[in-house]
Amino acid sequence: MPFLVLANFKSHKTIPEVKSWLETIVPVFEQYQDQLEVIIAPSFPHLHLLSSSLNSCAQDVSPFPPGAYTGAVNAPQLKDLGVKYCLVGHSERRHFFHETHQDVANKVSELLGVGITPVLLLSEKDIVPQFAALDDSLVDRCLYCFEPPSDIGGTTTAPLDVITQVIGQIRAHTPAPLLYGGSVTPQNIANLLPLNLSGVLVATASLETSSFNSILEVIAHAR
Show which residues are catalytic.
90, 147
How high is the pLDDT of residue 36?
94
pTM for this entry? 0.96
Domains of the chain: total: 1
Query: How far is 222 from 210, CA to CA, in rounded Å?
Result: 19
39 pLDDT above the threshold of 70 = yes
Q: What is the CATH number of the domain that holds 121?
A: 3.20.20.70
Contact 107, 63 (CB under 8 A): yes
Contacts of 12 (CB under 8 A, 6+ apart): 43, 207
Question: Which segment of 19-23, 32-36, 67-71 scores lowest on mean pLDDT?
Answer: 32-36
Q: Kindly state the average pLDDT of the residues 162-188.
A: 96
SS3 7: strand
pLDDT band at 223 (very low <50, low <70, confident <90, very high): confident
Query: How far is 159 from 77, CA to CA, in rounded Å?
Result: 39
Query: How far is 24 from 7, CA to CA, in rounded Å?
Result: 14
Domain that holds residue 202: 3-222
- CB neighbourhood size of 28 (10 A): 16
How high is the pLDDT of residue 153?
66
